[in-house]
Structure 1
C-alpha cells in the first residue's frame, strides 16, 4: 500500500519501482524514495525542508509518511499509533523492525512536497512540534534497545536547557566565563557547516530552542492532551 500526505504528489514511475522492489526483496516491509520540495526557491524554510528530505539511500531505521508498505505487516503491528501528535512514521518503523522487517530508502525519485513554509513562525511551530515528538517517542521506546530519540532529546536538553541555565548563572555571578560559554553556539554552527552548509547549520542550532518548548509541552501538559490542542489551533 502506498501512503502519501495531502501536500505531496507521487512522481511517475515510483509506484512501479516500489512495487517491484517489495516483490523482489521479501524481508523489506517498507520502501521510500527521494522527496523534493516543490518550491525550494520561495523561502529559506522551504529549502530547509528540501535538505531534510535528502537522506542517504540504503537500509534505514525509519522513513517518512510517504512510502509503500506491506499492508499485512503494518496491520500485524496494529498500524500507526493514532495517539501520537507527530513522529508516527518512525514509531511504526521501529515496531516493524522489531518484527524482523527491513526499511529501505531508494535513490529513485518518489514525490514532490509542498511545505509552503514562508514565515519564521511556521518554521518555529514545526520545530516545536518536532521537540514534542522527540519527547513522546523517547517516553514510549527510549528504554528499548533502539534507544528511540534518546540522542535527539539529549542534544535538545544540552543546547536549549542546560547551556542557557549555565550562561544565566554566569551572567548573574558576574564572572568572566560567560563570554566563553556564549561562543559555544557560533562554534556549534561552524562545526556543522562542512556537513550541513551554513544556512542549515544555523537553523539546526537555533531550532533546539523551539524543540525545547515542545519537550516542555509534552512533559508538562502532553499526557492530558492540552499541548496537542495548542498545535491544532
Structure 2
C-alpha cells in the first residue's frame, strides 16, 4: 500500500518558547508545515519563517478563533500540493517523537477513519493546581470516541467533506468539528499512544477563571448546535451555578435552614469530586475549584446567549 502523505498545521498567538518547541518537533518530520498566527506581538512569525515554515498571518480586522486559524492553515497547506492527512497541533504543544508514524499507520490501516488522536500530557503537571487540572482533563481512555481536543490527525477527504471547522465557534470548536465528522459517517479513534506535550503555564487564579468562562461559552454554543451534546454539563451549571446560589440567598431572608441545606449540597459535591481525584496531586484544591467552576461556566453560557440574542460577533475569550 502507498504510504499516505502528511502535512502539519500549527496555530498560535503569543506562544513564545512554546511555539518554538512545537515547530521544532514538527519540521524534521513533515515535509510541509504551516504556522497560522493570530496577531502575535512576539517573534512567533519571524521564528517560524526562520525554520522554513509557511506562515499565514490572519487579518486582524476579523475576530480570531482557533477554528478560523485551522481552516486557514489547511487551505495554505494544500496550496503546496495534494495531501492525504493533516496533523493539527496547538502552538503550546510539542509533538512526541513516534506519534506521526503511529497516527499515519492507523489511518492507512482503516480507510474509514476520519480522525485519530492520542494522549496529551502536561509538561509541568504539578507546577500549579491549574496545570494539574489540565493534566487530569487530558487523560481519556483509548478507543472509539465522539470528540477530542485540537491536537488531531485528520483525513483530508473527511475535512473537505464537512467543510472544515466552524469559524464562529470560539470554544469547544474541536468538539463541534468531531461531531459533524461522526454524523458524516467517519470513524474517530484515540490511540493508546503519547501524542503531544502541553504547556498550560497557568499560574494565576484569573487565568483559570477566564478559561472556565470560555468553557461555559463552549457548552452553550456547541450544545445548541448539536443537542444533546453538553446537556449534562449545562444542567450542572444551571443547578450549581444559578439555582443553588439563588436558594442560598433566599434562605438568608426566609429561613437559615434553606441556606444550610444548600451548603450541604455543595459539601457533598465537593466530597464526591475529591473521592474521584483520590491519589492525584493537590486533590483538595482541584475539588474546590471544580465545585466553584460552575459559576464562571454560567458566565460563559450567559455571554453566549447575550451575543446570540444581540447578533454580536463570537470573539475569543483569552486567558493567557
The Cα RMSD (Å) is 1.8
Aligned to 2:19: none
Query: Partners of 2:141 and 2:317 in 1: how far apart?
Result: 34
TM alignment of 1:152-171, pairs within 5 A: 152-171=233-252
Query: Partners of 1:229 and 1:41 in 2: how far apart?
Result: 28
Aligned to 1:124: 209
Among 291, 297, 300, the residue aligned to 1:205: 291
1:217 aligns with 2:303: yes
Aligned to 2:172: 87
Query: Partners of 1:207 and 1:136 in 2: how far apart?
Result: 18
| Per-residue Cα deviation, 1:133-185 (whole angstroms, up to 9, x for no partner) | 1111122122xxxx111111111111101111111112111342321211111
Q: Give the Å deviation of 1:214.
A: 0.5
Cα separation, partners in 2 of 1:232 and 1:114, compared to 1, 3 Å: closer
| Per-residue Cα deviation, 1:112-149 (whole angstroms, up to 9, x for no partner) | 1111101000000000000011111122122xxxx111
Provide the aligned length of Structure 1 versus Structure 2. 229
Query: Partners of 2:271 and 2:158 in 1: how far apart?
Result: 43
Aligned to 2:58: none
Query: Partners of 2:126 and 2:317 in 1: how far apart?
Result: 30
Q: Give the Å deviation of 1:231.
A: 4.5
1:228 aligns with 2:315: yes
2:140 counterpart SS class = coil
**Based on CA coordinates, which of the two structures has the bigger radius of gyration?**
2
Q: Give the Å deviation of 1:41.
A: 2.5
Deviates more, 1:103-112 or 1:118-127: 103-112
Query: Partners of 2:318 and 2:126 in 1: how far apart?
Result: 27
1:103 counterpart SS class = strand
Query: Partners of 1:10 and 1:211 in 2: how far apart?
Result: 30
Instruction: Show structure 1 runs of 5+ residues with no match.
Output: none
Among 255, 262, 265, the residue aligned to 1:181: 262
1:103 aligns with 2:188: yes
More contact order relative to length (CA 8 Å, sep ≥ 6): 1
| Per-residue Cα deviation, 1:23-78 (whole angstroms, up to 9, x for no partner) | 11222211111111111122111111111111111111101100111011011100
